[in-house]
Amino acid sequence: MKKGILAVSFGTSHIDTMEKTIDVLEKEFAKTFEEAVVYRAFTSNMIIKKLKRTANIKVQTVGEALEKMAADGIEEVIVQPTHVINGIENDQMKADALSFRDRFSSIVFGNPLLTTEEDNQAIVRVVADEFRDMDPDTALVLMGHGTEHYANTVYAALDYRFKDTGHKNIFLGTVEAYPALDSLLRAADSFHPKKIVLAPFMIVAGDHAQNDLAGANPDSWMNRLSSEGYEVTPVLKGLGEYPQVRQILVEHVQQAMNASI
């Protein structure tokens, strides 16, 4: 049967970070799974419209992409999200995709980046390895997105796991939920770092990274931390730029394929 992989991302209007993350990941899917055709969909209608308006780039919604896959004769669909957690976007994406179940022989879903205990262990190792040369007196502050969905608990759990595995200088918070920056400020104060490195805990270094994390506005994390007297260095590198992170998602595709047999 003709297989297709639908790579589903929230999306970004920042083409530079998209080229370093989503584009590279989809190419790795195509290279690893030569028997499948790779398609793209974004879940953010706002980003889809902005890309069309500002860059004349057409990205399909999940429904549009599945319509195209059906028209192309795809019979087996593997939907692989690049979402970090099983939150609201992922729930809605699944509902949208399952409305097409009668159009294909099968639709199976790969897991978001952080789904299993093994995923959580792996991401701690990946981040710690990425910043292994950082001075131990420097704190690494990671900005996740955050959500009102119950899956948001993964952020606090990972923050604890960093400390529990010996990385006392790594702090993980969110821009839209808990732990928020105020919680991280209290934790950072108790650690007494000489310097702080800021980095996004998101697949792309898009709007949140460039504005909420390192923007010029007074409420950005960089300026809030600077106002507390810390020397702050932002590193605008999305998780999708880390080869080990992309490998986790490649493995999730393989697991979904294995489950469909």
Task: Please identify every residue annotated as catalytic.
Answer: 145
Q: Write the secondary structure of 39-104 as one string of H (helix), E (strand) and C (coil).
A: EEEECCHHHHHHHHHHHCCCCCCHHHHHHHHHHCCCCEEEEEECCCCCCHHHHHHHHHHHCCHHHC
Pair 1, 74: CB distance under 8 Å: no
Pair 14, 206: CB distance under 8 Å: yes
Those residues whose C-beta lies under 8 Å from the C-beta of residue 146, and which sit 6 or more positions away, are 152, 155, 174, 175, 176, 177, 178, 180
**Distance between first and last Cα of the chain:** 12
208 C-beta neighbours (distance < 10 Å), count: 23
* CA–CA separation, 261 and 259 (whole Å): 6
* CA–CA separation, 252 and 257 (whole Å): 9
- Whether the link from the prior residue into 179 is cis, omega within 30° of 0, is yes
Q: How many CA atoms lie within 13 A of 207 on its CB side?
A: 10
Look at residue 228 and give its three-state secondary structure.
coil
* CA–CA separation, 249 and 112 (whole Å): 7
